[in-house]
Amino acid sequence: MSVLVNKDSKIIVQGFTGKEGTFHAGQMIEYGTNVVGGVTPGKGGKEHLGKPVFNTVAEAVDKAGADVSIIFVPPRFAADAIMEASDAGIGVVICITEGIPVQDMVKAKAYIDKRGTRLVGPNCPGVMTPGEAKVGIMPGFIHNPGRIGIVSRSGTLTYEAVDQITKAGLGQSTCIGIGGDPIIGTTTKDAVKLLMEDPDTDAIVMIGEIGGSMEADAAHYVKEFGTKPVVGFIAGQTAPKGRTMGHAGAIIGGEDDTAAAKMRIMAECGIHVVESPAAIGDTMLKALGKA
């Protein structure tokens, strides 16, 4: 079992026939993910990668029963794609696109919240339930089916955590890349909560970075409702104030969103905080009493 996506998810790819969409949809299908088709306006009725292409998301829901969408459309059209998926009744929308204007996301977020859509991302690597569904751009082979849930704002740093968990002899239930933008659909706390309530997840790795208050919110949730060990890391302990560190959301505005402040709050809330990103796997083994 898992959260958000599994082997029965009926997944469509928005921006299916573009360069990115084609490459990653191909990788997803190769992994065994249940991709039921894709959407590219104006190319409906054709076939691509052996799957049907639809003009609209509504058509994909109607004809292929789609319930999960992954978005690869360029930044200027991405907010529109998110709202289209929401309007069509898709329950889980995963947006990979990086560089969406913030004001577009302010509108899209308000729009989908009214319709109860779960958005993951944007600017994220996607969601992975090993052995069942790879809905994103992560390398499949580093994952191993198991019982550790992973939540992270980053791409390659998530892979690093996944790899350490796998090398520690453990595996992952679901890995959720929530994204590095200032406005994202699923927060750290939302993702931790999903995994905390998942009966097939035994422990959680929570990776954050400088900027915003998401990790502190998640930590307070863990303190109040946590029933499983959580290992946490915050990237950017050496980042200067006021500079954007690659991710649009990774910027220190005040005292509260430095790595040190977040790590302190997380530790106070009972999270196993690691100073070094190289110690995630070992710390998880200790937290589980296996080392």
Partner 1 sequence: MNLHEYQGKELLAQYGVVIQRGIVAHTPDEAVEAAKKLTEETGTGWHVVKAQVHAGGRGKGGGVKLAKNLDQLKEHATNILGMKLVTPQTSAEGKLVRKILITEDVFYPGETEPSEIYISVLMDRERKCNVIVYSTEGGMDIEDVAHNTPHLIHKEYIDPLAGLQGFQARRIAFNLGMSGVAYKNMVKFIYNLYSAFVGSDASMFEINPCLHASDGKIIAVDAKVDLDENALFRHKDLAALRDTDEEDPTDVEAKSYGLNFVNLDGNVGCMVNGAGLAMATMDIIKLSGGEPANFLDVGGTADAKRVEQAFRIILRNEKVEAILINIFGGIVRCDRVAQGVIDAYKNIGNISVPIIVRLQGTNAVIAKKMIDESGLEVRSAILLKEAAAEVAKVVG
DSSP class of 141? G
Residue 131, Ramachandran bin (φ over 0: left; ψ between -120 and 50: alpha; else beta): left
- Using the rule CB under 8 A, give the single segment among 2-10, 41-49, 86-94, 233-241 that binds partner 1: 233-241
Q: Which residues pair with 237 in a beta bridge?
A: none
Amino acid found at 73: V
Tokens of 61: 């829901």
**How many chain residues interact with partner 1 (CB under 8 A)?**
58
Q: Does 180 bind partner 1 (CB under 8 A)?
A: yes
Site for partner 1 in 98-127 (CB under 8 A): 99-104, 106-107, 109-111
Q: Strand, helix or coil at 116? A: coil
| CA angle, residues 10, 198, 122, in degrees to nearest 5 | 55
Which of 69, 117, 158, 186 is in the footprint of partner 1 by CB under 8 A?
A: 158
Beta strand pairing status for 230-235 and 272-273?
parallel
Site for partner 1 in 207-226 (CB under 8 A): 207, 209-210, 212-213
| 165 closest CA partner among 44, 50, 281, 84 | 281
Closest approach, Cβ 235 to partner 1, in A, equals: 4
Q: Exposure of 51 by Cβ count < 10 A (0-12 exposed, 13-18 middle, 19+ buried)?
A: middle
Mask: binding to partner 1, 59-98, rule CB under 8 A, as x and -?
----------------xx----------------------
- 37/126 with CB nearer partner 1: 126
Question: Is residue 186 within 8 Å of residue 118, measured between CB atoms?
Answer: yes
Q: Does 194 bind partner 1 (CB under 8 A)?
A: no
Q: Does 152 bind partner 1 (CB under 8 A)?
A: yes
- 8/19 with CB nearer partner 1: 19
- 64/170 with CB nearer partner 1: 170
Q: Does 22 bind partner 1 (CB under 8 A)?
A: no
Which of 35, 79, 219, 245 is in the footprint of partner 1 by CB under 8 A?
A: 245
